[in-house]
C-alpha cells in the first residue's frame, strides 16, 4: 500500500534536533550575548520580526569559528528528537523522499544529515565562510534561507514529487505551507502559538509524524 505522501520536508533546529544552533553558539559568548541573541531568535521564530533583519547581525556578534561549528554539529546529534531515526527508517522503507530545509548553518548540520542518510543534495541550509585559520569570515547572504519567506522559495525550486508533507516549529517554516500539500507544526521541543494557528496539523512526536505520512 502506498504512503499518503511522496515527499517529507523537515526543519532542523527545534524540530529534528532540540537546539537552536545560533543560540547554542551565542551561549559560548557569555550570558549577556546569549540573552540578546536568544531574544532575537525567539522574535524571528514567533514572526514578530523578519528573519532577514537579524540573520547577519546575530552572526556578526557571535562570529563562530570552524571548530565551534564542528562542536555544534556534535550537539545537534546529541539532542536528536526521540524516535527520529526509527521514523526515518519507516518512511524511507516506504519509498518516501526525505529532505531537510533549514535556516541553520550547513557545515554544522552536515554530519547529522549524513548520519540520518540524507544526501548532500537533500540538505538545504546556509553555508558559512571561514578564513584559513578557521575564524569567521561571513555567510552566504544570497541564500533565500536567510529570509522569512525563503523556505517556500527553496521548496518551489526543488520540485519534489507530490503530495508533499512539511513540518517545522517556527514562523519561517510556515512559509512552506504555500507550496506543501500539508504543513504540520512540530511542537516536540517548542510550541509557538502563531505557528500552531497557521498549521494544518500539530504533531509532538516523530512516531506520530511518520504515522501521518504513511497514512
Q: Which of 13, 23, 169, 173 is catalytic?
A: 13
Structural domain includes residue 1: no
Is residue 173 annotated as part of the catalytic site, yes or no?
no
Is residue 11 annotated as part of the catalytic site, yes or no?
yes
Query: Each residue of 22-75: pLDDT tens digit?
Result: 999 999 999 999 999 999 999 999 999 999 999 999 999 999 999 999 999 999
Structural domain includes residue 70: yes
| pLDDT value for 15 | 98
Structural domain includes residue 2: no
Which range has the worst mean pLDDT, 36-45, 103-112, 193-202?
A: 36-45
Is residue 1 scored above 80 in pLDDT?
no
Cis peptide before 163 (omega within 30 of 0): yes
Q: Which of 11, 23, 169, 173 is catalytic?
A: 11
- pTM, whole model, 2 decimals? 0.96
For residues 137 and 41, what is the distance between their CA atoms, to the nearest angstrom?
A: 21
CATH code: domain of residue 22: 3.40.50.1000
Mean pLDDT, the chain, integer: 97
Return phi, psi of residue 192, to 5°. Answer: -110, 115
Reported as a pLDDT band with limits 50, 70 and 90, residue 2 is confident
| pLDDT value for 78 | 98
Structural domain includes residue 101: yes
Q: Is 105 helix (H, G, I), strand (E, B) or coil?
A: strand
Mean pLDDT, rounded, for 93-104: 98
Query: Each residue of 146-167: pLDDT tens digit?
Result: 999 999 999 999 999 999 999 9
Structural domain includes residue 138: yes
* Other residues' Cβ atoms within 10 Å of the Cβ of residue 175: 25
Looking at the structure of the chain, the number of domains it has is 1
| Bridging pattern class, strands 128-130 and 136-139 | antiparallel
Which stretches of the chain are DSSP H helices?
21-27, 31-46, 55-62, 66-78, 84-93, 106-115, 150-158, 171-174, 193-198, 206-214
Structural domain includes residue 125: yes
Is residue 83 scored above 80 in pLDDT?
yes
Please say whether the dihedral angle defined by the alpha carbons of residues 133, 137, 143 and 144, taken in this order, is positive or negative.
positive
Amino acid at each position: 500500500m502506498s504512503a499518503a505522501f511522496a515527499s517529507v520536508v523537515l526543519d532542523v533546529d527545534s524540530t529534528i534536533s532540540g537546539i537552536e544552533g545560533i543560540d547554542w553558539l551565542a551561549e559560548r559568548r557569555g550570558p549577556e550575548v546569549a540573552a540578546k541573541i536568544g531574544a532575537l531568535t525567539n522574535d524571528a521564530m514567533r514572526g514578530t520580526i523578519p528573519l532577514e533583519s537579524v540573520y547577519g547581525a546575530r552572526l556578526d556578534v557571535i562570529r563562530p569559528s570552524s571548530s565551534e561549528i564542528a562542536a555544534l554539529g556534535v550537539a545537534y546529534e546529541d539532542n536528536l528528537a526521540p524516535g527520529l531515526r526509527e521514523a526515518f527508517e519507516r518512511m524511507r522503507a516506504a519509498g518516501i523522499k526525505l529532505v531537510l530545509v533549514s535556516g541553520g548553518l550547513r557545515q554544522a548540520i552536515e554530519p547529522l544529515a549524513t548520519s540520518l542518510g540524507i544526501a548532500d543534495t537533500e540538505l538545504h541550509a546556509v553555508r558559512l565562510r571561514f578564513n584559513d585559520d578557521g575564524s569567521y569570515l561571513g555567510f552566504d547572504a544570497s541564500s533565500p534561507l536567510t529570509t522569512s519567506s525563503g523556505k517556500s522559495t527553496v521548496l518551489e525550486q526543488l520540485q519534489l514529487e507530490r503530495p508533499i508533507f512539511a513540518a517545522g516549529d517556527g514562523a519561517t517554516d510556515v512559509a512552506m505551507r504555500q507550496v506543501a500539500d500539508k504543513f504540520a507544526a512540530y511542537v516536540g521541543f517548542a510550541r509557538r502559538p502563531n505557528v500552531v494557528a497557521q498549521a494544518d496539523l500539530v504533531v509532538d512526536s516523530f512516531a506520530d509524524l511518520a504515522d501521518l505520512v504513511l497514512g
